[in-house]
Amino acid sequence: MTRVLSGIQPTGQPQLGNYLGALQSWIALQDTADAFYCVVDLHALTVPGEPADLRDSTMAMATLLLAAGLEPDRCTLFVQSHVAAHSQLAWILECTASFGEMRRMTQWKDKSAKGGEEAARLGLLAYPALMAADILLYDTDRVPVGDDQRQHLELTRTLAERFNHRYGQTFKVPDALIPERSRGGRVMDLQVPTRKMSKSSESPQGTIFLFDEPKDIERKIKRAVTDADQGVDAVRYDPTAKPGVSNLLGILGTITGRSPESVAADYTRYGPLKADTADAVVELLVPVQVRYRELASDPGAVAKLLRTGADRANEVASATAARADAAIGLLPPS
Ligand code: AMP
Ligand code: TRP
């Protein structure tokens, strides 16, 4: 059976891009694959934050994943820091990667540019090695993620191949599983449709958060930036010339399981397209919000599920970590 693994950071407000780019495939893959999903709390340490917030948001993210449709009987859901092998293998992969290749990662360049390289945490630079560890520990075949993670996936493959070449066959080399950009792989900001929608965006009006009230979702979509075109072909899928309209077509198409081109054929004006997109998003998110409130009322039950998930993950991960330790020449404990 195909093994899949993916992760999501607990910090920031989860948004529609997370759902359409990643969670939607995570949910579907539970039926067809042996699926491992983790809340990557160690990755959150790469930027400043409060300990209490990290604890709360880790629990909240796990609860949200369950509310969105992950079922502990059909997948292994766990918290990254509960499985020690993640940090252990990350070190080995840091010693497999080079400084130069880490420094070339777009995410490092973008994020370190904000506060300056001098202050950026070393973990932010090394982050792709930890992500590679997350993936390689599970002999993963496919990694369902959004398009923004393509570069990190490529690096994971490179590190796996390099390690295998140097020390002998140890890791399975994984493939990415990325939806096409028009099918949720890259949901764009509603106000600046040339920029991806993001948890950490400074553009709350351009971001649909998964916990937004229906009236806020409707308002944000109604005010989404489009263009001044009129006429019968104003509604068409053309991300370069018409990024705002194309983004709405992508969102509505992804939710309804249609291509953006076929959705476009149903409309001539922006108003009705926006109204139907808003309805589809509200219909998608409200049931998740309702289930979230139910699950959040019993945090003990969620914690117990995470415990079971971590035990299951640990069995697989500790064996792979031991294999890597032995391959690289660490003396096995007797
Ligand atoms: P993060 O919020 O960075 O932890 O991302 C969690 C998952 O959501 C990853 O698989 C990302 O690729 C995906 N994702 C985040 N933002 C978007 C977006 N705007 N469009 C599509 N996928 C996204
Ligand atoms: N880097 C990913 C992101 O920012 C999150 C992540 C961490 C991840 N570890 C992973 C995704 C392993 C897939 C597999 O979105």
Distance 6 CA to ligand 2 centre (A): 6
CB-CB contact of 184 with 250 (8 Å): yes
- Whole-angstrom distance, CA of residue 327 vs CA of residue 41: 28
Name the class of domain 3-182+298-328: alpha beta
If we measure between CA atoms, which residue out of 260, 233, 256 comes closest to residue 247?
Answer: 260
Residue 215 CB neighbour total at 10 angstroms: 10
- Whole-angstrom distance, CA of residue 85 vs CA of residue 178: 26
Q: Tell me if residue 242 is catalytic.
A: no
Q: Is the CB of 46 under 6 A from ligand 2?
A: no
Distance 252 CA to ligand 1 centre (A): 18
Q: Is the CB of 9 under 6 A from ligand 2?
A: yes
At 44, the amino acid letter reads: A
DSSP 261-279: HHHHTT-SSHHHHHHHHHH
Q: Tell me if residue 172 is catalytic.
A: no
Pairing of strands 34-39, 3-8: parallel
Q: What are phi and psi of 31, to 5 degrees?
A: -85, -25
3-state secondary structure of 78: strand
**Which residue ranges make up each domain of the chain?**
3-182+298-328, 204-293
Same fold for the pair 3-182+298-328 and 204-293: no
At 25, the amino acid letter reads: S
> What secondary structure letter does DSSP report for 22?
I
Catalytic position from the list 109, 114, 196, 274: 196
Q: Tell me if residue 274 is catalytic.
A: no
Q: Is the CB of 6 under 6 A from ligand 2?
A: yes
| pLDDT for the residue 272 | 97
CB-CB contact of 142 with 176 (8 Å): yes
CB-neighbour burial class of residue 242 (10 A; exposed 0-12, middle 13-18, buried 19+): buried
- Whole-angstrom distance, CA of residue 99 vs CA of residue 121: 14
| pLDDT for the residue 80 | 98
Q: Is the CB of 134 under 6 A from ligand 2?
A: yes
> For the chain, how big is the Rg over CA atoms in Å?
21
* Percent of the chain as helix, strand, coil, to the nearest 5: 55, 10, 35
Q: How far is C-alpha 90 from the chain's CA centre?
A: 19
Mutate which of 9, 13, 16, 18 to test ligand 1's pocket (most atoms within 8 Å of Cβ)? Answer: 18
| pLDDT for the residue 182 | 86
Ligand 1 atom closest to residue 196's alpha carbon, by position in its atom list: 19
Q: Whose CA is nearest to atom 8 of ligand 2?
A: 7
If we measure between CA atoms, which residue out of 173, 209, 190 comes closest to residue 273?
Answer: 190
Dmax (CA) of the chain: 76
| pLDDT for the residue 108 | 95
Name the class of domain 204-293: mainly alpha
Which ligand is nearest to the Cα of residue 145, counting in written order?
A: 1
Q: Report angle CA 124, 129, 130 to the nearest 5 degrees.
A: 80
| pLDDT for the residue 231 | 85
Which ligand is nearest to the Cα of residue 65, counting in written order?
A: 1
- Whole-angstrom distance, CA of residue 42 vs CA of residue 129: 12
Judge if pTM exceeds 0.75: yes
Tokens of 148: 């923004």
- Please report which residue ranges of 137-226 form alpha helices under DSSP H: 150-167, 214-222
Tens-binned pLDDT, residue by residue, of the chain (334 aa): 999 999 999 998 999 999 999 999 999 999 999 999 999 999 999 999 999 999 999 999 999 999 999 999 999 999 999 999 999 999 999 999 999 999 999 999 999 998 999 999 999 999 999 999 999 999 999 999 999 999 999 999 999 999 999 999 999 999 999 999 888 899 999 999 999 999 877 789 999 999 999 999 999 999 999 999 988 889 999 999 999 999 999 999 999 999 999 999 999 999 999 999 999 999 999 999 999 999 999 999 999 999 999 999 999 999 999 999 999 999 998 8
Distance 44 CA to ligand 2 centre (A): 11
Distance 17 CA to ligand 1 centre (A): 6
| pLDDT for the residue 175 | 98
